[in-house]
Every structure is written in C-alpha cells, then in structure tokens.
Structure 1
C-alpha cells in the first residue's frame, strides 16, 4: 500500500511583499541616492574650490615676485639687483607664507642639487620641499612654469619664475609650493561628516516612513480585510469613511461598489427564483398532463396540444432569457445609418398584423440616425404586442416617432386599462407585471418590457411610461443619437 505524502505549498501571499514595505524600500532607495548625490557633489565642490584657491595663490605669489624683479631695488645699494641670490633673499625676507605654503629661492650650485634659499620657517621634515633634493632638482630643471608632484609625502602643487642672471652670476628661480593634502583632507572630512549625517537621516526616515506608511495604508488594510470577509450571502459590511483624502475617497468608492454588488446579487437571486418559478410551471403542467393521459385518441390529442403549447411557452422564456443575457455583451447593438421615417413605417406595417385594432401612424421623424434597426424594430413590436394584449378589438393603438435635436423618440400608445402609479417602475424589471394590466389574455413571463429597456439602454437611451389623454398607456423609447 502506498502512502500519499503531502508537501507544504507556499502560497502567493507568503511570498508577497506588503505595500508598506515596498513604499519604505522605495523611500530608502530614493533618499540614499539623493543623500549620496548631495554628499558627493559637496565633496566635488569643495575639492574644486581647493584647486581654485591654490591656483589663485600660486598666481598671486609668482605675480608679486615678477613685479619685484622688474621694479625692486637693493636696499643697501639703491640699485637694481644684479645677483639672483641677493634678489631672492631680500624678497623672501619680506614675505609671509600660509601654513601649507613654501616660498623658496633656487640657484645653480656646483653639484646636481640647486642651492636653496628659504624663509626662516620650517614645515614637518617629512613634507618640507626644501628637504626633498629630488623634487627640487626636478622643479629647477623643468621647463614648465607650474606643475604637480605626486610624492610619497603627498601631492604638491608648484609654480616658479626663472631669473635671468646679469654678468657671471648663476641663474636662479623663485618657487612657490603648496601642500594640498591638508586642504583635501578637510574636504574629505566634510564628506565623511555628510555621510554620517545621511546615515542618521536614513535611520530617522526609516522609522518615520514606517509609521506614516502604516497610518496611510491602514484604510487600505481595512478594505482588504473587508473584501476577504465578504461572501455572496453576506454583503452588508461597509468601511468607515474618515477624512476627505484619497484614501477616504477609496473607501467611499469601495462602499459604493459593495452597494452595487449587494443589489446585483439580490437581483440575481430574485431573478433565479422567478426564472425557476416561471419554468417550473410549464414543466409541472406537462408532467401532470402526461401522467393522466389515457388511451382515448381525443384525450391524447388534447394532451399533446397542451404539452406542445407549454413547451413553446417555455422555449419563449428561455429565448428571452438568452436575449437578456446577450444584452450585457458589447456586440448586442450594431448601429448603422437608418432613415427614421422608413423605420417607423416598417414597424407600423409589422405591428398591424398583431391584432384587430384601430392602428394609427402617429407622425414620423424625417431624419437619419445611427441605431440598430433590428433591435429597435424588436422593441417597438414588443411594445405593440404589449398594447394588443391589454386592449380589445377595435381600440386605437398609435405608433410614431419624433426628433428633438440629437434625441429621437419612438412611441406606442394604447387606450387600455393603463398602468397603476405603483407599477410604473417595476414593470420594466424581469418577471414583473403591472397589477392593472395583469390579465388572463397574456401568457408572457414578464420579460417583454425588460427586453425593451435593455435595447434602449444599449443605444445609450431609456424607455419611459407617460400618461395618455383619455386613459391608457404610452411607452416611449428615448434614444440619444447623432445624425
């Protein structure tokens, strides 16, 4: 014997991420991207400002030295400087450099290393340019007026002004050097501070966002829970509406939908009950006659006639129900250009064959409209048949049409017993008949006027019951259409 082994199956709900979590994740992604962009942009701006300030400082210092070379005089002799070393010493004695700045004078010496003239001010041994023989040699020998050195001690920005010697004096150069690491470190420290602040802001955003999202989505959860508890037997639950925001509008819309569903299910149950009753009656009649049918030929013939008549009535009920079901489909109406005068005349000719009445063509609308001629003819003939069933031979029935702008009206008027005021609305519902017009002559199931209303609504119109001069009933198809 084999034993079935059941394996737990994960439902879609177990893998679903809630809207609250999705909102929070998207908020964190956007906030992270925004804060990272702000921090990165701030760092870039700070580093750009550092580069601009260093460039301005180098330009300023070299410009001041160039002016001193062209205009300065030796304070001891009162003459122009002839020796580059004397020129550099006098100039450097009069300068004050920034903390990360070095002002140096270089002249050619006997060896490969240039002779250094500097201010009486020392930077840390590990960073000072005047202690870096290799860097000094490269700067002095360079043909460029400025440049950048990437040393193990850090990045160094420099600029120089070369001095043309007079006579046998050794050539020299004025060098401005700026150690950019300290300035860049400040920018990096600001960047790290922004990142730390951003992290704290993200944590706060997470908490606040979680609380706010929960508060906003609380009505949505109520909607979901209410929808989960709804059944076909219990559609009475409603969502409490609070506030005037979009969530409150959603709750109102959902409550309206529940109202429509409740009415639809009630109408469906009533329809099923009425349809069952209407179909059960002919079936009971057929079964009863077949059970008591004897061997007498005349009796058998009468039974067959009654059974056939009931089956025909049941067939008409089924056809009407199928037609009403088709009315919900988009292809129920097939509009086309139709001449109203010709359509009204055709309906009148067909209606005259329904019974011995005083038929009158009560005016026609001479214009063209887009509508479904077969469905309109079906509705008008049904109204005419309804009028025949509630009048006696010789009574007048009028059929006509009128046009009022984009609206057209087709009417059928009889002078029968009329419709009671309390029945004016219910007679257009399925399996409903007016009390004053319910008689022995009609064998319908109460679907005719429901079909007429479905055809009118399919044309974006309606059917109305209007008072009739002298008594009776006037049914009017009002259709909104365009030429």
Structure 2
C-alpha cells in the first residue's frame, strides 16, 4: 500500500458527496444543453430548407401555367418574375429574386422582408449566387449568412439568354433566436446547478449527521465512561450503523466491566491469604515442628489462592462468546451423570428425586459444573448422613436442574445477595470461597437462563438453574 493510499483522502465526506452530485448534475445539464442546441439549430435549418423548397416549387408551378393576355406562355422573364412576385407573401428575413443576365450585368427584381431591407444586393452578390454550382449554398453578406436555392429559367427574350429565380433566407436572425434559447437554457442550468449544489450540501449534512455523532461519541469514549449511546431513528443504513455502534459499546462496556471486576475481586480476595502467608513467614522460628506447621498453613493458603484465581478466571471467561460449547444432550443421561458425580463428594444420603424426559441444547460440562457446585454447597450445610436431593425437569421450553438440602436454610434478609461475589458467612453465601454461587449464576446466564433458590428458615434450601431448552442452539452446530 502506498503512503498516499494509507493516508487516505483529506477531503471531507460532505464535500465529496456534494462534488460528485454537482459533477453528475453538470454532466446531465451539459448533455441537455447540447441536445437542445443541436435540436434547435437543426429545426432552424429544416425550417429554412422547407421554406426555400416551397418558394421554388410555387415559382415552378406558376411558370408552368403562366400566360400573357393572348393566352401564350410568358416568354419574357421580367414579366414572369414581376407577376409571380406580386402574388408572394414573404416571411421574416426572406428574400425572393428574379435575376436576368442583360449581357453586360445582372439585373434583379427583388422582394425583400423589411428586417433585411438594408442589406445591399449588388453585382458581386448576384454573381456569386448565380455561379454557385448545384443551385444552392450559403454565402456571407453584410447582413449575415444568406442561404439560397436557385432555379434556372429559360429566357430567350433576354440579351444574355439566361435568367434565374432565387429564394433566399438570411439565417442570422433565425439562428440568433435559437442561440438565445440555448443561452437561456444555459443560464437556467447554471442556476439549477447552484441550487443543486446548495441542496446537496444540506442533504449530505443531514445524511452524515449520524456519522458525525458516531465519530464524536467515539472521540468522547474513555475507559471510565462507556455509558454514552447514540439515538437510533428510523430503519435505514445510518440507523443500522448506529445500532451496530451501540452494540459495540455494549460489548466494550461489558469487557471493561469484566476486567475491572476481575481486578477488584483479585485485589479483594487475594490480599487476605497473602497477608496470612507473610505473617506466618515473618514469625516463623527455628523449631522444626513450628516450621512444618507454617509450611502447612502457607500451602493451604496457596491452594486457596489457586482456587480463587481459577474461579475468577472462570467468571471472567463467562463473558466471552466461546465460554460455552453447546450440543444436543439427553436430559435423563445428563441428570444421571450429575447424580453419580455428586455422590462422590461426601458421605450424604443422596436421592435422585426427579428426572426430566427429553433433549436440550446446552453445554453439558458447564451445567455439570454448576450443579456440582450447588451439591458442594449443600454438603457444607449438612452433616454426614443428611438427606440431599438432586433432580431435573422439563416444563415447556425450560429445563431445570436443582439440589435440595436439609440444612438451616437462607435468612430472608440475605435473599437478594445470595448470588453475589464474595458474599459469605452471615452475608448470605453458603460456601467458604465466596464465588461458588456467582459461578452458578454466570453459567446459567451464559445459557440465557437464570439461577434460583427457595428456602424456609430452618427447613433447608433448594438451589437450581433454569435454562431454555434451545437457548444456545445458534452458537454451534447441533448433532
């Protein structure tokens, strides 16, 4: 890629839009003016040619049937021309000539329109008319171009033996009218072009306004403020752009929120084991038994730190699109597998009380992880040999998995915070790490479902997840 291509154009989009619009308008108007100009001048030429042909045709008809007082054909060209011209009505810029060669010069009877009466028709002009080959042509005069059509007349009575009838038009005035029409059209086109440029500038501004809003919103974004959104109006491409930009901001906000949450949680939870380890190491003496106890305590804290880091990474990953690997699974088989794994956690009276019948699209490993976490919580709240029930069900388009214990239950004032991170002990969390139920909630929400619980004070608690049967079918090919 060249440096110029890498830099891109410095011309604003609004100017480019207006420029292209004006360029297209200019090309279109120029084409129209050109076509009108050609059409107007062609119409003038056709009008003149038809008029000349009509004048010549009328003369020929008159010459063929014209007679003198004795009923004989008129042989004198002067008489013929005089009688014919008396019957003619000439048009603007028109001239009719009867030219006779007298042997020494050319004489002519004339019928000229008042608009060109001032034009002098002299010997050189007449000679040029009668000597032009083909009987037609255009010659330059003091009054402008003269287009003529000539017809030879038999003139035995004239000294020179030659005579001609000439019909002519001074084209300057008629072509000037056509040129005026073209000039008017040209000025109208220029005015229209200026108006079009102004309109295109305003329209381009309105079209690009949402784009400028997007650009301004992007410029105003900071890591500390990702809450700004662009208003969406209509359903056109610009509205789609605004929607996509807002969706991108939503993803960015979630990503930054996840990162901040991870950093806050890590700083909050890892500070205590680090402090414990440092304190024990600082006061550790030389006694071997004491050293062994300190090593044991430090190892326990390091193991707890490792579990906390793993849980925090899991929660952070729950925001990623590849967190789940959904597939179509048999709910009875999955429930049976979860029950078998839960029984290995601790010595309790495990009971499989219900099994849902049917298939569901979900990530079996994540669902198993969530339900076993609930089972671990239930173990922590019960004594050896206590009853713990595991079950599943399918109702409509929802599949549920749950674990019910016979422990002390959850106090009502802690119900709203039960699935929050690092809430434990009297705060309402039922496991010691403070992340177990938060992980369950994250897995449920990744499936577009929810985590739930029911509890009566002193009568145990039931925790579970409710997931749409086909919640993530669009994220993977289901076999």
Q: TM-score, normalised by structure 1?
A: 0.72
**Quick one: distance in 1 between partners of 2:254 and 2:53?**
92
Query: After alignment, is 468-477 or 78-87 more displaced?
Result: 78-87
* Range 374-383 or range 419-428, more displaced: 419-428
Structure 1: how far apart are the matches of 2:120 and 2:225? 86
Distance 1:192 1:416 in 2: 99
Q: Write the distance in 2 (CA, Å) between the matches of 1:28 and 1:395.
A: 82
Verify the 8 A CA contact 1:340 1:366 in the aligned structure 2: yes
- Structure 2 counterpart of 1:474: 463
Aligned residues: 456
Residues 424/125 of structure 1: CA separation in 2 closer, same or farther (3 Å cut): farther
Deviation string, structure 1 residues 385-437 (Cα, Å, up to 9, x no partner): 23323333344333333334554333333343444556445444433448464
Please give the secondary structure, in 2, of the residue aligned with 1:354.
Answer: coil
For 1:62, the equivalent position in structure 2 comes to 53
Q: How far, CA to CA, are the matches of 1:431 and 1:129 in structure 2? A: 120
1:451 aligns to 2:439 (yes or no): yes
**Alpha-carbon distance change, 37 to 252 in structure 1, aligned in 2, over 3 angstroms:** closer
**Matching of residues 28-427 of structure 1 within 5 Å:** 29-31=20-22, 33-34=24-25, 37-38=28-29, 40-42=31-33, 44-63=35-54, 65-66=56-57, 69-70=60-61, 73-74=65-66, 76-77=68-69, 79=71, 83=75, 85=77, 87-104=80-97, 118-121=110-113, 122=116, 125=119, 131=125, 133-134=127-128, 136-138=130-132, 141-142=133-134, 149=138, 162=151, 175-196=166-187, 228=219, 231-233=222-224, 269=260, 271-420=262-411, 423-427=414-418
Distance in 2 between residues matched to 1:54 and 1:352, nearest whole Å: 108
Question: Are 2:452 and 1:465 aligned?
Answer: yes
> Which has the higher mean CA deviation after the structures are superposed, 275-284 or 129-138?
129-138
Supply the distance in 2 between the matched residues of 1:84 and 1:421 (Cα, whole angstroms): 135
* d(CA) in 1 for partners of 2:217, 2:231: 13
Q: What is the alpha-carbon distance in structure 1 between the residues aligned to residue 82 and residue 42 of structure 2? A: 29
SS in 1 for 2:282: helix
Contact 1:275 1:431 in 2 (8 A): no
Q: How big is each residue's C-alpha offset from its partner over 1:9-50, in whole Å with a ceiling of 9 and x where there is no partner?
A: xxx99x9555xxx42553355246425633651453254134
SS in structure 1 opposite 2:324? coil
- Residues 131-171 of structure 1: CA distance to partner in whole angstroms, max 9, x if unpaired? 26445533xx328xx7x6486987665556x5685999978
Are the counterparts in 1 of residues 95 and 168 from structure 2 also a CA contact under 8 Å?
Answer: yes
CA RMSD of aligned residues (A): 5.0
- Cα distance in 1 for partners of 2:179, 2:469 equals 74
Structure 2 runs not aligned, ≥5 long: 1-5
Deviation for aligned residue 1:472: 1.2
- The Cα shift of 1:199 comes to 5.0
Q: Structure 2: how far apart are the matches of 1:48 and 1:137? A: 32
Separation in structure 1 between the aligned mates of residue 84 and residue 303 of structure 2, nearest angstrom: 125
Aligned residue number for residue 3 of structure 2: none
Deviation at 1:279, TM superposition (A): 0.8
The alpha-carbon deviation at position 68 of structure 1 amounts to 5.7
Which digits, 9 at most, give the CA deviation of each residue in 1:251-277, with x for residues without a partner? 999999989978876775454233202
Q: Does the Cα contact within 8 Å between 2:277 and 2:301 map onto a contact in 1?
A: yes
- Please state how far the C-alpha of 1:462 moved relative to its aligned partner: 1.7
CA distance in 1, matches of 2:85, 2:21: 55
Change (3 A) 1:206 1:181: same
CA separation in 2, counterparts of 1:414 and 1:379?
Answer: 16
**Aligned residue for 2:17?**
26
The 1:16/1:455 distance shift into structure 2, 3 A limit, reads: farther
